[in-house]
Amino acid sequence: MEKTYSPQSIEQNWYQTWEEKGYFAPQEGNGNAYCIMIPPPNVTGSLHMGHAFQDTIMDALIRFHRMMGEKTLWQVGTDHAGIATQMVVERIINAEGKTRHDYGREKFIEKAWQWKAESGGTITKQLRRMGTSLDWSRERFTMDEGLSKAVHEVFISLYEEGLIYRGKRLVNWDPVLHTAVSDLEVLSEEENGHMWYMRYPLSNKTGHILVATTRPETMLGDAAVAIHPDDERYKHLLGEFVELPLTGRKIPIVADEHVDPEFGTGCVKITPAHDFNDYEVWQRHRDLSAIQDQPHGGLINVFTVDAAIRENQEDEGKLIPEKYIGLERMEARKQILADLEAEGLLEKTKDHKLMVPRGDRSGSIIEPFLTNQWYVKVGPLAKPAIEAVENGDIQFVPDNWKNTYFEWMRNIQDWCISRQIWWGHRIPAWYDQEGNVYVGRSEQDIREQHKLPDDCLLKQDEDVLDTWFSSALWPFSTLGWPDKTQELENFYPTNVLVTGFDIIFFWVARMIMMGLKFMGEVPFREVYVHGLVRDAEGQKMSKSKGNILDPIDVIDGISLDDLLQKRTAGMMQPHLAQRIEKQTRKDFPEGIPAYGTDALRFTFASLASTGRDIRLDNGRIEGYRNFCNKLWNAARYVLMNTESQDNDLPGKPGEFSTADLWIESRLNQVIDDVTRAINNYRLDLAAQAIYEFTWNEYCDWYLELAKISLQSDNQALQRGTRKTLISVLETLLRLAHPIIPFITEEIWQRVGPLAGKSGETIMLQPYPKAEPEKINRGAINEINWVMDFILGVRRIRGEMNIPPGKPLPALLQDGTEHDKLLLEKHNVYLKKMARLESITWLSSQHQAPESATSLVGNMKILIPMAGLIDKDAELARLEKEIHKIKKDLPRIEGKLNNPGFVEKAPQVVIEKEKEKLAALQSSLQNLQEQHKKISAL
């Protein structure tokens, strides 16, 4: 093996080998099935830390279950990401000086496929770098043939059942993208704005009513002014009309509970075509003749798809005043305010904070807009989906996320699934010239089914489906649905969905609804919700903040200059570049060293405690890289001592030392801990257990103890030790493999054969199984005694500044028979590891020479001072220990003197306290005697 651990040189090859050999595909056999569906990343996207974190969790689970002998599938694929991808392709086209309309729909879609072909490999390549054991042979794309078929089947079936319908309603309209978006795709944030107080003159000429609004430009579409029915200030005005300024229209004053008398002036302008609340008010009052008789029954749209003031239609006369036609909404606002001002109708303007809804993709202000759209009636689908979580068919981890789920599902609105874009699944609906709608698999099918004559022209709906519509089918569409496949049989329902909380609504809830509807069974048994990956400052990573870290850069390393370049290139707001540069220089003064995939994965695993965001800390990644290095070097040592050696092969007698029995015992305890942790989704605990066992026990103690056995003349003991060195290491590699696949494979290739393993890869070896009968309490106690002894001597060395290499004589006093036995047995360990030149018993009566003291139970270890120990230093040391005990004693004494404690606490606890007290008391006495002795010198 190479002397230094270098991830680059080992990680490159293994992935390719694994993939080529088909190890990622489900293994045939009798095991239970285990399946995870990857949340399909955007096909043209690239891997970010969130993916890397999520994929590490999934891969660890998958590798674990695969090694448990289960028939394991990690389904891979990508999402077409309608709006996101369309925007990217449009940007490319814009750079050519054209628009998508210059291309036309067909050419544009061609261009999008071309873009997918070019850049679609980026993220899958990056996924491979993470070591993900995804079954690439089954890779799917949400717009490939099979998945599109599933989409059509679902659409048609829901339509036929009346669960998909078309309707004209107010939707969230993105005036930049020219498409409807769902509620979830609208992000509202507080922004600074104004509240304008406008005077609407009363028709009876008795004055005016004062209306407060944040959107004066929509007044052109007002249909009424509303007041609260109990508002004494305005009650008398009910039934009256106001002159709607600038328009010459008359609109009624109506009463509605929606109005909050405390807010603004208590009078609200009602603009039903441009506000969701107003729309509802309108619905309640639409039958009033004063509303009904208005143009469009009062539902007056004033905008174009660009959110500019529209033109009048032929039959509308001058409904929209010509002056404003064509003005973009903000310009229209300015003009209208100016005109109101001129007419003395603008009473005042106040600063006002308001929530502004913006499209999550375009960032433009979303406009409530009246359009025809397709909807899924979700009520009937939501009901069983709620029940599935209530009755435990699906469990959230951590459990509290189910509250978020219920909250949303119980207030769910119909889902607007049509989008006015081009990239996506086109809605399988056709219209004839009379406007009749036909839904079917193809135009051909529809003609046959409805016996339409050839001269009947059919035109397909222009819209495409919301991307999440196809994502919702992912758990079964990828397995071949609507065909009845063996894969569906084997892997549906899947076991766990690993996801971020941000898409519980978008995706998780919808998968549950669709899965129950079309498979009659939940899509997954558990939903593991992980946290967000944040930067070292706890900030969300985002491009505009310039704090993005590319997982690949952590793996391969990157220079400061390249990192700066990456973070500041192509910035929308160049003025932020300076701040980003400063921050980057501070966080990564020397760039990022190449930590390797395993170190990054181990870091993610160790931070993956449930339900908590994680802060990525460079120090921690470095620490786990060091851990890999430690494992590497331990393996080197083991190999150096065992390769081409006689390692207790069958037929030769082997003898096991207490250290051998001890490390085997601990290993089996740790296997149990790790297995339990992984089963509970506590990768952090699993990682920690592996870390501590490897470093603090196997390396720090066992390897050192083993060296001693290997130096003995006892051939059988040597053989036993070599066998233990190998078998523990080999088991440890398998134990750690789900988290750090590369280094464990690399080492296992050398160690496996020595342990008598014959497989080609560690990936397909059985996961270690704890064998409780191998846990030897006696051996554990003995080695703990040995450690206490050695640590006692080391502490004296450390605090007395005695060089570690200097051999010392040790005297022992007040030992029990058991101490004597153990000393006899482990004399060599103690001498070598504590660097003692001699160990001599002293009877209790015997006057000990002036010494530094350490206690193992009641047994005193005395290191004679004879010139090397400083009297004052030893006194200080003793005082420190005495002080410690004196601090603890009163608390324990108090406990035991407390009648309540003695009466009510469990017997075991009381016994423990008593033992503790006795031990402390005798230690104290010993230390005080020693202190007296030394001070007398």
Partner RNA sequence: AGGCGCGUAGCUCAGUUGGUUAGAGCACCACCUUGACAUGGUGGGGGUCGGUAGUUCGAAUCUACUCGCGCCUACCA
Of the pair 109, 224, the CB lying nearest RNA is at: 224
Alpha helix stretches (DSSP H) within 286-378? 289-292, 329-342
Least CB distance to RNA at residue 68 (A)? 21
Q: Return the residues of window 257-286 that contact RNA according to CB under 7 A.
A: 258-266, 268-269, 275-277
Residue among 371, 222, 247 at smallest CA distance from 298: 222
| Contact yes or no for 402/389 (Cβ under 8 A) | yes
Q: Return the residues of window 132-171 that contact RNA according to CB under 7 A.
A: none
d(CA 661, CA 656): 7
Strands of the sheet containing 395-397, edge to edge, are 395-397, 524-530, 494-500
Of the pair 286, 630, the CB lying nearest RNA is at: 630
Exactly one of 803, 824, 867, 907 binds RNA (CB under 7 A); that residue is 803
Least CB distance to RNA at residue 193 (A)? 8
Q: Return the residues of window 599-628 that contact RNA according to CB under 7 A.
A: 607, 609, 611-615, 617, 619-620, 622-623, 625-626, 628
Provide DSSP, 473-487. THHHHTTTTTS--HH
Please provide the size of the chain in residues.
937
CA 274 to chain centre: 38
Number of neighbours of residue 832 by Cβ within 10 angstroms: 15
Exactly one of 312, 364, 629, 645 binds RNA (CB under 7 A); that residue is 629
The secondary element (H helix, E strand) that includes residue 822 is helix 817-833
Least CB distance to RNA at residue 526 (A)? 18
d(CA 277, CA 369): 13
Exactly one of 118, 306, 700, 771 binds RNA (CB under 7 A); that residue is 700
Of the pair 130, 198, the CB lying nearest RNA is at: 198
Could you say whether residue 13 binds RNA (CB under 7 A)?
no
Least CB distance to RNA at residue 889 (A)? 10
Least CB distance to RNA at residue 748 (A)? 17
Of the pair 349, 898, the CB lying nearest RNA is at: 898
Could you tell me which stretch among 3-11, 54-62, 290-298, 339-347 binds RNA (CB under 7 A)?
3-11
Q: Return the residues of window 319-358 that contact RNA according to CB under 7 A.
A: 354-355
- The tokens describing 207, both together, are 């004055």
Q: How far, in Å, are 365, 526, 696 from residue 421 at the CA level? A: 18, 34, 59
Exactly one of 183, 393, 788, 870 binds RNA (CB under 7 A); that residue is 183
Could you tell me which stretch among 315-323, 582-590, 787-795, 867-875 binds RNA (CB under 7 A)?
787-795
Least CB distance to RNA at residue 758 (A)? 26
State the amino acid at position 702 in one-letter form.
Answer: Y
Q: Nearest 5 degrees, angle CA 11-CA 16-CA 21?
A: 130
What residues contact 783, with CB distance under 8 A and at least 6 apart?
Answer: 658, 659, 662, 701, 705
| Contact yes or no for 233/354 (Cβ under 8 A) | no
Terminal-to-terminal C-alpha distance of the chain = 56
| Contact yes or no for 165/374 (Cβ under 8 A) | yes
Of the pair 159, 501, the CB lying nearest RNA is at: 501
Exactly one of 208, 358, 566, 636 binds RNA (CB under 7 A); that residue is 636
d(CA 734, CA 752): 10
Exactly one of 166, 358, 757, 884 binds RNA (CB under 7 A); that residue is 884
Q: Return the residues of window 668-687 that contact RNA according to CB under 7 A.
A: 684-685
Q: Return the residues of window 392-421 that contact RNA according to CB under 7 A.
A: 400, 403-404, 407-408, 411
Q: Return the residues of window 98-117 that contact RNA according to CB under 7 A.
A: none
The secondary element (H helix, E strand) that includes residue 164 is strand 164-174
Least CB distance to RNA at residue 901 (A)? 4
Binding mask 834-873 for RNA (x = CB under 7 A): ----------------------------------------
Of the pair 548, 892, the CB lying nearest RNA is at: 892
Of the pair 358, 630, the CB lying nearest RNA is at: 630
Least CB distance to RNA at residue 640 (A)? 6
Phi, then psi, of 159 in degrees rounded to 5? -65, -45
Exactly one of 210, 305, 892, 924 binds RNA (CB under 7 A); that residue is 892
Phi, then psi, of 653 in degrees rounded to 5? -70, 135
Could you say whether residue 906 binds RNA (CB under 7 A)?
yes
d(CA 875, CA 799): 11
Q: Return the residues of window 549-568 that contact RNA according to CB under 7 A.
A: none
In DSSP terms, 244 is beta-bridged to 249
Least CB distance to RNA at residue 590 (A)? 13
Could you say whether residue 898 binds RNA (CB under 7 A)?
yes
Of the pair 184, 560, the CB lying nearest RNA is at: 184
Could you tell me which stretch among 78-86, 96-104, 374-382, 884-892 binds RNA (CB under 7 A)?
884-892
Could you say whether residue 805 binds RNA (CB under 7 A)?
yes
Q: Return the residues of window 199-238 that contact RNA according to CB under 7 A.
A: 212-215
d(CA 630, CA 693): 12
| Contact yes or no for 79/43 (Cβ under 8 A) | yes
Q: Nearest 5 degrees, angle CA 434-CA 437-CA 442?
A: 120
- The tokens describing 366, both together, are 């979303």
Per rule CB under 7 A, count of chain residues that contact RNA: 99
Of the pair 463, 684, the CB lying nearest RNA is at: 684
Q: Which long-range contacts (CB under 8 A, 24 or more apart) does 873-876 make?
A: 873/799, 873/800, 873/801, 874/800, 874/934, 875/931, 875/934, 875/935
Of the pair 141, 604, the CB lying nearest RNA is at: 604
Of the pair 452, 873, the CB lying nearest RNA is at: 873
| Contact yes or no for 306/369 (Cβ under 8 A) | no
Q: Return the residues of window 908-927 that contact RNA according to CB under 7 A.
A: 909, 912-913, 916
Asked if the bond preceding 398 is cis, omega within 30° of 0, the reply is yes
State the amino acid at position 343 in one-letter form.
Answer: E
Least CB distance to RNA at residue 8 (A)? 10
Of the pair 272, 440, the CB lying nearest RNA is at: 272
Least CB distance to RNA at residue 544 (A)? 14
Provide DSSP, 262-289. TSTTSEEEE-TTS-HHHHHHHHHHTTSH
Could you tell me which stretch among 57-65, 68-76, 584-592, 883-891 binds RNA (CB under 7 A)?
883-891
Asked if the bond preceding 807 is cis, omega within 30° of 0, the reply is no
Phi, then psi, of 172 in degrees rounded to 5? -80, 115
Query: Which residue reads 């005077």 in tokens?
Result: 199
In DSSP terms, 196 is beta-bridged to 213, 349
Extended strands (E) in 681-782: none
Of the pair 842, 892, the CB lying nearest RNA is at: 892
Exactly one of 435, 520, 574, 900 binds RNA (CB under 7 A); that residue is 900
Least CB distance to RNA at residue 657 (A)? 17
Do the strands 614-615 and 533-534 form a parallel or antiparallel pair, or are they unpaired? parallel
Could you say whether residue 799 binds RNA (CB under 7 A)?
yes
Q: Return the residues of window 441-460 that contact RNA according to CB under 7 A.
A: none
Least CB distance to RNA at residue 46 (A)? 23
Exactly one of 87, 176, 184, 571 binds RNA (CB under 7 A); that residue is 184
Could you say whether residue 754 binds RNA (CB under 7 A)?
no
In DSSP terms, 615 is beta-bridged to 534
Least CB distance to RNA at residue 892 (A)? 6
Q: Return the residues of window 473-492 that contact RNA according to CB under 7 A.
A: none
Of the pair 78, 606, the CB lying nearest RNA is at: 606
Exactly one of 317, 435, 538, 653 binds RNA (CB under 7 A); that residue is 538
